[in-house]
Amino acid sequence: MSLKIGNVTLENNLILAPMAGVTDLPFRLLCKEQGCGLLLCKEQGAGLICTEMISAKAIYFKNKNTETLMEIDERERPVSLQLFGSDPDLMAEIARQIEPRNFDILDINMGCPVPKVVNNGEGSALMKNPRLVHEIVSKVSKAIEKPLTIKIRKGFAEDCVNAVEIAKIAEDAGAAAVAVHGRTREQYYAGNADWDIIRKVKEAVSIPVIGNGDVDSPQKAEALVRETGCDGIMIGRAVQGNSWLFSQILHYQKTGELLPKPGMEEVKEMILRHAKMQLEYKGNYTGMREMRKHVAWYTTGMPHSASVRRMVNEVESYEQLEELVGRM
């Protein structure tokens, strides 16, 4: 099931959500590959890959960390690069400045619930200011030729549920698509996602609507589309340690069959492969420390996973990780 956003056509309608501290280059490549071990198996991975969110101000002030965040491998395209900020003129200027880079879609984060972002009037705080949303989307969309999308939530709080209003404003201002997470900022990730708000957004706008929230199985992916009519399916936390979910959903979409979950040996191979990529990309010190959370996710629900999580926090080299994985 393909999906078109502006002038960019995705091979399928599955989208890896932007996740700070998670969707770095190695993880994105694994989601694109889908655990098949060959980069040629592109059709088995996510149709669109999203980067971690990147501060427009940090780019403006030439923060050295942003260069790494903006690095994109040709093998993972099409890629959506996500910016966050609240100054319309600055964001438009940064969008214009980075447009020559090899991303395909520019996304604006209007859904991040983290206090340090919200307290700066950025992320989900923008949903409290519809006029500012219009100004940002209008100025950024006019500054670039690549498609511009936004990612929002149900609203800031239950007494401020305005996803439909924000989506209509974004469409009017030039957005090519809108992703909707079915929770308020106050909820963070607690409780169930409200898919009904996604349906209401879909009924209110003519641009593609991407549904997000609680999709952790092929059946849930099917149900989201059936219940909301959304065009795309965005998946975040459910693929942490489980990039196979994309290929499982695609197979189910095509055949109606459920693929078996990966066995222990396949998971172990993926952990080591991910670690090699992480070390190559970020070096031993940072790479091994960042792998610890991934190992915890990969081993969730496995026998003795608690002891594995405890021991991996002491691992400082690939050889030590290999030894630990070999004992699993």
Q: Is 112 a catalytic residue?
A: yes
- List, in order, residues 6 or more apart from 314 with CB less than 8 Å away: 320
In this structure, what is the dihedral angle of CA atoms 28, 32, 38, 39, given to the nearest 10 degrees?
-90
Other residues' Cβ atoms within 10 Å of the Cβ of residue 35: 22
- Catalytic hit among 41, 112, 160, 230: 112
Q: Which two tokens stand for residue 258?
A: 């459920």
Pseudo-torsion of CA 158, 160, 161, 165, nearest 10°?
180
Please state, in angstroms and rounded to a whole number, the distance separating the CA atoms of residues 56 and 53. Answer: 9
Residue 47 phi, psi (nearest 5): -70, -30
Distance (Å, whole) CA 272 – CA 291: 10
Q: Which residues are catalytic?
A: 112
